[in-house]
Structure 1
Amino acid sequence: MGLFSALVAGSFSLGVRAANLIDPAAITVARFIIAAGVLAGIAALVPGRGRSRALLEAPWRYLLLGGAFAGYFVLMFEGLKTAPAVSASAVFTLTPIMAAGFGWLLLRQRMTGHLAAALALGGAGALWVIFRGDLAALTRMEIGRGEGIYLVGCALHALYTPLVRRLNRGEGPLISSLGTLVAGGILTAVWGWGALTATAWGALPAIVWITVFYVAVFASACSTMLVQYAALRLPSAKVMAYTYLTPLWVIGLEAALGRGMPGIAVLPGMLAILGALALLLGGDEPARSSSPVR
């Protein structure tokens, strides 16, 4: 999940530069097709039995997983049209709190006091960064349109994590990820067919193609497998809690790309996020679930 946070960070820095150059549905379909192709190629090369049967067993599961995953990515790019990369990555760190709620609803996973303290501290830090240290804006809940749109997407991502565990029937991360990406691509293509056919693919700037391939290979294929692997071994809240690292990666990337460092006003929020991560790494509680995974 530490590697996941680094890979996801790149999608914010690239996505904010490409979001206004291509429709969110179109880029999501493209990334799903490429990512599914990558995983299908890996599945063909790695020995394994019963994979086709695993994909065809209760395929409605992949429609649920793919729908949640696709909705997250569409809303992410829609939100990045107006939300700064650092601010959007701070919104992303609210997913652990939402994942904890969905984990309790779907799996009856219970948080320890240690994990609850980490989530509370990280959530407070994320809110500080989102509102850029403006307490007056925080009390009025003046959140930007882009951040608001992306927050809905993050709720879908938080739901996706316990769904992986709830719906798993013994298939490994590779096959489950492949089914999720194929289903997500189909659903997004049906919903955004107009945007898909209206896009002048041959005239897109280079930054769009760089973003498409990065998010397809690293922020879709690789990150999906990493989340699937972790979701079967860690509580839902703890899986997503590693997203606290993402804003730090984004700040470093944005500085490297010439955007400079964020203002000093957001420093307390970043320190709170770091504190939450330290609390998280300080304890290693096993998952508690009334729904065992076969």
Structure 2
Amino acid sequence: MNISKLRANIYVLFATFLVAGSFIASINLATVVNPISLTFLRFIGAILILLPLILSKAEYRNKVFSTIPRAMIISLFYSLYFMGMFEALKTTTALNTATLYTLVPLFTAILAFFIFKDHISFNKFIVYIVGLIGTIWVIFKADISLLINFSLNSGDYIFILGSISMCFYSISLKFLYKEGDIPIVIVFCTLIGGAIWMGLGLFIFNKSLDWNLIQGRLLYDMLYLIIGATILTVYFYQKSTVVLGPSKVMSYIYLNPVAVAILLLFIDNKAIELAVVPGIIISTIATFLLQRDKKVKV
């Protein structure tokens, strides 16, 4: 693995833990402000933070208008995922969505095969399945009865469509990338597009902003979502997807439950249940096997 690929893997690993932290930060916020409004505020806040940087350099300013059209497409897929998730949660459960989200790496690999001709060997396909099993093990906490009782409903089908949008988001990061693009400008323009799409979402679903309800410690949670879970993650995903490709980047989704468990251990001193340790090990091994080069058998 060369230096650029190693750096890209480090970026996406950081992004995975930042996303995991967003689940923890969102717990209290979600009970106060509706999720669409929260995401809209994340985009607006991130735009305002990046705006002085973009305006400070002529090379950044000159790239904005040429980047916006492509960023609108990228941000559309990103926003459709959130809208699909919010709509799905009206009729399904967080457990169902977490389970279905584990299909994203495999879906992305299949789409990348058709779009970028990324070959999926039988061995690699098996690793995807193993990673999925390991992640589901963690999600269901090794409780076979929960898995047996798992069933799909109308909200789940909506979330599956949202998850496919997330696959296209990752693919579009690479497909729409042009030589000479400035990553921070792409991030800025993607956030602008996201704010526009989420604003439309607020109108379509008739949701109020309620930003005045974010007070006290919730302000710190919101700041984390804006900087850590929005600016940095979008930047890290942009940088890593161009180098690694969407399939390898999305395979880190298998580590999401693992990252949440580790963060809860350090932040809330919540011990990792022994029953989920095998699932953590399986998910971790599968994720890193999927990072190996095509010429290396997995």
TM range (shorter): 0.7 to 0.9
Give the alignment of 1:90-239 within 5 angstroms.
Answer: 92-113=101-122, 115-142=124-151, 152-170=161-179, 171-193=181-203, 198-239=208-249
The residue number in structure 2 matching 1:290 is none
The residue number in structure 1 matching 2:25 is 14
Tell me, in whole angstroms, the C-alpha distance in 1 between the residues paired with 2:219 and 2:154: 26
Q: Compared with structure 1, are the counterparts of its residues 268 and 151 closer, same or farther at alpha carbon in structure 2 (3 Å cutoff)?
A: farther
The residue number in structure 2 matching 1:70 is 79
Displacement after TM superposition at 1:148 (Å)? 7.5
3-state secondary structure, aligned to 1:276: helix
The root-mean-square deviation of aligned C-alpha atoms, in Å, is 3.3
Q: Compared with structure 1, are the counterparts of its residues 69 and 121 closer, same or farther at alpha carbon in structure 2 (3 Å cutoff)?
A: same
2:52 to 20, 26, 41: 41
Matched letter for residue 124 of structure 1: I
Displacement after TM superposition at 1:83 (Å)? 2.7
Tell me, in whole angstroms, the C-alpha distance in 1 between the residues paired with 2:265 and 2:199: 35
Displacement after TM superposition at 1:77 (Å)? 6.4
Displacement after TM superposition at 1:150 (Å)? 5.8
The residue number in structure 2 matching 1:291 is none
Q: How many correspondences in the alignment?
A: 281
**Kept in 1: contact 2:67–2:189 (CA 8 A):** no
3-state secondary structure, aligned to 1:122: helix
Tell me, in whole angstroms, the C-alpha distance in 1 between the residues paired with 2:28 and 2:89: 9
Tell me, in whole angstroms, the C-alpha distance in 1 between the residues paired with 2:144 and 2:212: 46
Displacement after TM superposition at 1:11 (Å)? 0.3
**Unaligned segments of structure 2, at least 5 residues:** 1-11
| Residues 1:260 and 2:239 aligned together | no
The residue number in structure 1 matching 2:286 is 276
Matched letter for residue 177 of structure 1: V
Displacement after TM superposition at 1:42 (Å)? 2.9
Q: Compared with structure 1, are the counterparts of its residues 243 and 71 closer, same or farther at alpha carbon in structure 2 (3 Å cutoff)?
A: same
**TM-score, normalising length: structure 2:** 0.79
Q: Compared with structure 1, are the counterparts of its residues 48 and 116 closer, same or farther at alpha carbon in structure 2 (3 Å cutoff)?
A: farther
**Unaligned segments of structure 1, at least 5 residues:** 287-294
Q: Compared with structure 1, are the counterparts of its residues 154 and 219 closer, same or farther at alpha carbon in structure 2 (3 Å cutoff)?
A: farther
The residue number in structure 1 matching 2:252 is 242
Tell me, in whole angstroms, the C-alpha distance in 1 between the residues paired with 2:157 and 2:264: 22
**TM-score, normalising length: structure 1:** 0.80
Displacement after TM superposition at 1:161 (Å)? 0.7
